[in-house]
Amino acid sequence: MPESHIIAEGLTKRYGDFAAVDGIDFDIKAGESFGFLGPNGAGKSTTMRMIAATSLRTEGRLEVLGLDANENGPEIRSMLGIVPQADNLDEELRVRENLYVYGRYFGLPRAVVNERADALLEFAQLVEKKKARVDALSGGMKRRLTIARALMNEPKVMLLDEPTTGLDPQARHVLWDRLFRLKERGTTLVLTTHYMDEAEQLCDRLVVVDHGRIVAEGSPASLIRSYSTREVLEVRFGTDKNEQAAKTIEGIGDRVEVLPDRVLVYADNGEQALSAVTDRGLQPVTSLVRRSSLEDVFLRLTGRSLID
Amino acid sequence: MSEQTQSRRIMQGIYSRNTRSVVSRGMRVIARNNWMIVLTGFFEPVFYLLSMGVGLGALIGSVQFMGVDVAYAAYIAPALMAVSAMNGAVYDSTMNVFFKMHYAKLYQGMLSTSLGPFDIALGEIILALFRGLLYATGFMLVTTLMGLNLAWTALLAIPAALIVAFGFAAFGMAITSYMKTFQHLDFVFFLMMPMFLLSATFFPIEVYPEQIQWVIMALPLWHGVDMIRMLTTGIIDFSIIWHVLYFAVMIVVGMFFATHRLKSLFLR
Amino acid sequence: MTTPFARTRRMGWWYVAEHRIRAMRNYIGSFFIIGLGSPVLYLLGLGAGLGVLVNERQGAEAIDGVSYIEFLAPALLLAGVIVSAAQESTFGVFGGFKWTPIFLGMRDTSLTPRQIVTGFTVGTMARYLPASAMYLLVMYNFDIVNGWRPLLLLPIAALLGLAVSLCVMAWVATQKDDRGQLSFIERFVITPLTLFSGTYFPLETLHPGLHWIGWISPLWHSVELGRLVSYGSEQHGWLTLVHIAYPLALIVLGWVLSVRHFTKRLQS
């Protein structure tokens, strides 16, 4: 059994009457890749900030690398690599200087900082850009620089808040590749995301959060197994007709879910479900059979879509 | 004993003894990008000195300071030095800190490292004082060339200006922890305006009724102006001790207050 | 029947101005306190303080035939106008391209660069005209002015404000990055103008080599006009014409250049 890196019990953050995080428990092991999946405003970022000790919890227990988060901010962060949701690079400094200055914030000696800065420019594929101004970088490059920066102190745990939100597909894949390498090296990754594909790619285990609470926990595959079927049939009948058609479909597959623009039929065999639908005399405008994803898990658990 | 452990425990959550890295980042930025801004900041009091000292000076002639006639330009020069120390320190510890926190997100980055809020606050104050030192030295050079420093004690006006700046910076930092929007900054500057106008900057406070004089003498800028004026004119009496003491208290209280507000300023 | 597009073609500038005025409503609280507080403080502080000194040395009606506070009041009102107008044009315009890019949003509608320029400057009037009106109110209240003619200070303020807004805007619209040069306007243009435009003392008091600052300064021209309407200072008729024509010329020049720079920036 590997040691625990982060332990939370009844972790709560209140702003006035509003509980952004409402009593959650989790235990993240060394070397694990752990994800918080949930829509905007679910409390993921607040949780991340509490782990980083840049936001103080209101109640509960939170131990990061064996230290109480409310009391030991600087010491905890000396072992963390933090990648915030919005890049907060130092725009007044050049690319390489960002790494250098950041390393100095950890109190590392100049020689070490210089050596790591060069190695990380390589890792982040930014060697040619090392003298560029930060505001001249593309979104993907900024993100890679932010990740490189977070690695300056050779952290035991990386905290990644929405690491690929807002990037184009190609930039996302480059980033996932870099994160995967970190995982292979044994770095503990903690990430938040509202993308199912990202969670499926990167997480060994994840919790689904909604309204500041954990609603389910497990590996991506086990979550899909417990809360969804193997396949999903998506059929569209036109905006006003979906509701009506769903009534006729009722009974096909395990479960039927009506969304404003389409009807989802959860079944282990999508093609069979589709022929059952047409057998009942319905002619969908479009139809699609796909594998179940975490989106379906989320819909099942909360009755809402992840991205609204 | 237990009190000592407690204070160590508080500091452990907010301080990593690495203020040096914050200062060195600031110096790097000043050297690279901001030296023009720093340079131009020096001109403001000079413009005031030239305009008010020369223009108004022609209308007013001389003013009495502690019973001695002093040429008008020599009368306002030390006041402008104190005002510039106050303005620079307040600007750096309020507007600048607020902007870096909410817009440039600079502190967010710093707080992703082992730095604590105390390292950052102290670093910003040291940088503000460094700027203050540059301004004060530049201004002294100008006033010396204009023949407005009437005694060798004028040299002490530079450390005096730093004391003034330190007091205002510590307090400014504490006040910033309560600010939510830029409009709150307007109020800070609005409160500074009467201090600037009335603290014996451009005319002796004796023109006012005694009650108003007491109010003005309770405000920090008046102490700064009077202290620096004593030093540059060489008309010094024992009361300068009270000015120094006033700022000593202001620095201690301001730093104490700021340190205790740091968690609410940085760790929301 | 008018289509919405035809209405936009005619009234587009007003929609831009409306946007600005709406945004300013957020500041209404601080606006009233500062708008009323600053004239009271300045007039009481400087007029009653500095005024005592000046009147004592020069005689009660020695400056332009009136007391110091009567001489000073219209100039302070107008100096406030150029500070606000320049600030809005500096940070509002730069921000509109960069920080909160409202101009880019407007470009994507059927608004034209001309309408954006006109609307923005008209909207800015909502910041300095009510403030000027409050200043004027305080002046009437302190018996510094009387009769109807001082009301003409408001159109004078409008003329001055538009001239400054548009000239500053024409330059700021060409700036792509803020490397600190934005603060140059306040430090090297606006502050010196308020100090050397005959605001605190007659221009003639200055060395003749510095009088040109007043001649090119829109503030000086407006202040001369302002003194004419508030206490009937002596003035040649043709000079009055110059004082009106000069800001008008700046308005035309500033508008043409601003439109050119906005067009280039928004369509590239």
Residues of chain C with pLDDT > 70, as a percent, come to 99
Number of residue pairs across A and B with CB atoms under 8 Å?
Answer: 97
CA of B35: how far to CAs of B26, B84, B158, C179, in Å? 11, 18, 20, 10
The model carries a pTM of 0.82
Q: Which positions ≥6 away from A272 have C-beta within 8 Å?
A: none
What does pLDDT average to over chain C?
90
Instruction: Say if residues B243 and B249 touch (Cβ distance below 8 Å).
Output: no
pLDDT at C234 over 60: yes
Nearest-by-Cβ selection for B113 from A77, A89, A92: A77
Cβ count near A159 (within 10 Å): 26
Chain C contact residues (CB < 8 Å to B):
26-27, 29-30, 33-34, 37-38, 41-42, 45-46, 48-50, 52-54, 57-58, 63, 99, 179-181, 183-184, 187-188, 191-192, 195-196, 200-201, 205-207
Q: Does C191 contact B44 at a Cβ distance shorter than 8 Å?
A: yes
DSSP A66: T
Alpha-carbon span A38 to C215, nearest angstrom: 65
Strand partners for A13: A21
Nearest chain B residue (CA) to A58? B268
Shortest CA gap C101–chain B (Å): 15
User: Which residues of chain A neighbour B29 with C-beta distances below 8 Å?
Assistant: 92-93
Looking up tokens 């004026």, which residue turns up?
Answer: B229
Nearest-by-Cβ selection for B190 from C37, C50, C54: C37
The residue of A50, A104, A152 whose CB has the most chain B CBs within 10 angstroms, and thus the best one to mutate to test that interface, is A104
Alpha-carbon span C27 to B115, nearest angstrom: 36
Q: Give the pLDDT band of residue C268 (cuts 50, 70, 90).
A: low
Shortest CA gap B181–chain A (Å): 18
Residues A170-203 have pLDDT tens digits of 888 988 998 999 999 999 999 998 777 888 888 9
Q: How far apart are the first and last CA of chain C?
A: 35
Shortest CA gap A73–chain B (Å): 5
Alpha-carbon span C93 to C103, nearest angstrom: 9
What does pLDDT average to over chain A?
90
Residues A223-233 have pLDDT tens digits of 988 998 889 99
The residue of B43, B59, B222 whose CB has the most chain C CBs within 10 angstroms, and thus the best one to mutate to test that interface, is B59
What b/e readout covers C135-147, taking b as 16+ CB neighbours within 10 angstroms? bbebbeebebbee
Strands A33-37, A188-193: pairing is: parallel
Q: Which positions ≥6 away from A89 have C-beta within 8 Å?
A: A98, A134, A142, A145, A146, A149, B109
pLDDT at A4 over 90: yes
User: Which residues of chain C neighbour B54 with C-beta distances below 8 Å?
Assistant: 206-207
Q: Does B60 contact C34 at a Cβ distance shorter than 8 Å?
A: no
Biggest CA pair distance of chain C:
70
Alpha-carbon span C205 to B255, nearest angstrom: 46
| Residue B1: predicted pLDDT | 44
Shortest CA gap B198–chain C (Å): 6
Residues A114-167 have pLDDT tens digits of 999 999 999 999 999 999 988 889 988 999 999 999 999 999 999 999 888 888
pLDDT (tens, 9 = 90+) of chain B, 268 residues, equals 455 666 666 677 788 889 999 999 999 988 887 777 777 778 889 999 999 998 899 999 999 999 999 999 999 999 999 999 999 899 889 988 888 888 778 888 898 899 988 899 899 999 999 988 988 999 999 999 999 999 999 999 999 999 999 999 999 988 888 887 777 887 888 888 889 988 999 999 988 889 999 999 999 999 999 999 999 999 999 999 999 999 999 999 988 888 888 777 777 7
3-state secondary structure of C108: coil
Mean local confidence (pLDDT), C50-63: 86
The residue of B11, B29, B114 whose CB has the most chain A CBs within 10 angstroms, and thus the best one to mutate to test that interface, is B114
Helix ranges (H only) for A139-241 are 139-150, 169-184, 196-202, 220-227
Residues of chain A with pLDDT > 90, as a percent, come to 52
Does B111 contact chain A (CB < 8 Å)?
A: yes
Alpha-carbon span B221 to B171, nearest angstrom: 13
Nearest chain B residue (CA) to C208? B55
Mind spelling out the 3-state secondary structure of chain B? Answer: CHHHHHHHHHHHHHCCCCHHHHHHHHHHHHHHHHHHHHHHHCHHHHHHHHHHHHHHHHHHCEEEECCEEEEHHHHHHHHHHHHHHHHHHHHHHHHHHHHHHHCCCHHHHHCCCCCCHHHHHHHHHHHHHHHHHHHHHHHHHHHHHCCCCCCHHHHHHHHHHHHHHHHHHHHHHHHHCCCCCHHHHHHHHHHHHHHHHHCCCCCCHHHCCHHHHHHHHHCHHHHHHHHHHHHHHCCCCCCHHHHHHHHHHHHHHHHHHHHHHHHHHHCC
Q: Considering only CA atoms, which of B182, B98, B96, B179 is closest in space to residue B131?
A: B96
CA of B155: how far to CAs of B151, B161, B229, B231, C132, in Å? 9, 11, 12, 8, 43
Alpha-carbon span C247 to C257, nearest angstrom: 15
Domains in chain A, CATH or no CATH each:
4-217 (3.40.50.300), 229-291 (3.30.70.790)
Copy the structure tokens of residue B188.
């800070």
The residue of B113, B262, B263 whose CB has the most chain A CBs within 10 angstroms, and thus the best one to mutate to test that interface, is B113
Residues A232-262 have pLDDT tens digits of 999 998 878 888 888 888 888 888 988 888 8
Shortest CA gap A304–chain B (Å): 30
Shortest CA gap B110–chain A (Å): 7
* A234-238, A292-296, C260-264: the lowest-pLDDT one: A292-296
3-state secondary structure of A216: strand
Residues C161-175 have pLDDT tens digits of 999 999 999 999 999
- DSSP-derived secondary structure for A82-125: EE-SS----TTSBHHHHHHHHHHHTT--HHHHHHHHHHHHHHTT
Domain residue ranges of chain C, discontinuous segments joined by +: 4-267
Please give the distance of CA C246 from its chain centroid, rounded to a whole number: 14
pLDDT at A308 over 60: no
pLDDT at C107 over 70: yes
| Residue B22: predicted pLDDT | 93
DSSP A20: E
pLDDT at A290 over 80: yes
Nearest chain B residue (CA) to C184? B40
Chains adjacent to A (≥3 CB pairs closer than 8 angstroms): B
| Residue B183: predicted pLDDT | 73
Residues C182-191 have pLDDT tens digits of 888 888 899 9
User: Which residues of chain B neighbour A135 with C-beta distances below 8 Å?
Assistant: none
Q: Does A78 contact B16 at a Cβ distance shorter than 8 Å?
A: yes
Nearest-by-Cβ selection for B33 from A74, A92, A149: A92
